[in-house]
Amino acid sequence: MTWSIRSSATLLIALAVAKGALAEPWLAPGDTRLRNDLQLLNDVGLMQVPLSAWPLSWSDIEAAIQNSDALDVPSGTVEALQRIESDLRTAATID
């Protein structure tokens, strides 16, 4: 009986850890505004993220933005960058 309880507890802990490791927010392909904003940032060279295969992961977008030179943002793309950063914060609070 003790082995069964211990095994069950170990399995539950392993599943919880695995779920946390795999839980990553994904961008849904149906968000046209977000897709256009990402394409704009790619086009101006602010980030380089492959946009041909969806869904995209928020962690890839976050890494690309953090690795970019956000101080050298062309004036027409500031709003797109702000919207993506806002969406990123929202996704982080949901996860």
Which residues on neighbouring strands pair with residue 57, listed in sequence order? 26
78-94 helix and 32-43 helix, angle to the nearest 10 degrees: 130
Alpha-helix runs per DSSP H in 44-95: 58-66, 78-94
CA–CA distances in Å: residue 39 to residues 51, 67, 82: 7, 17, 14
pLDDT, one tens digit for every residue, the chain (95 residues): 454 555 544 544 544 444 343 345 888 778 899 999 999 999 998 898 999 888 899 999 999 988 877 667 788 788 999 999 999 988 887 65
pTM for the full predicted model: 0.68
Angle CA 54–43–29, to nearest 5: 20
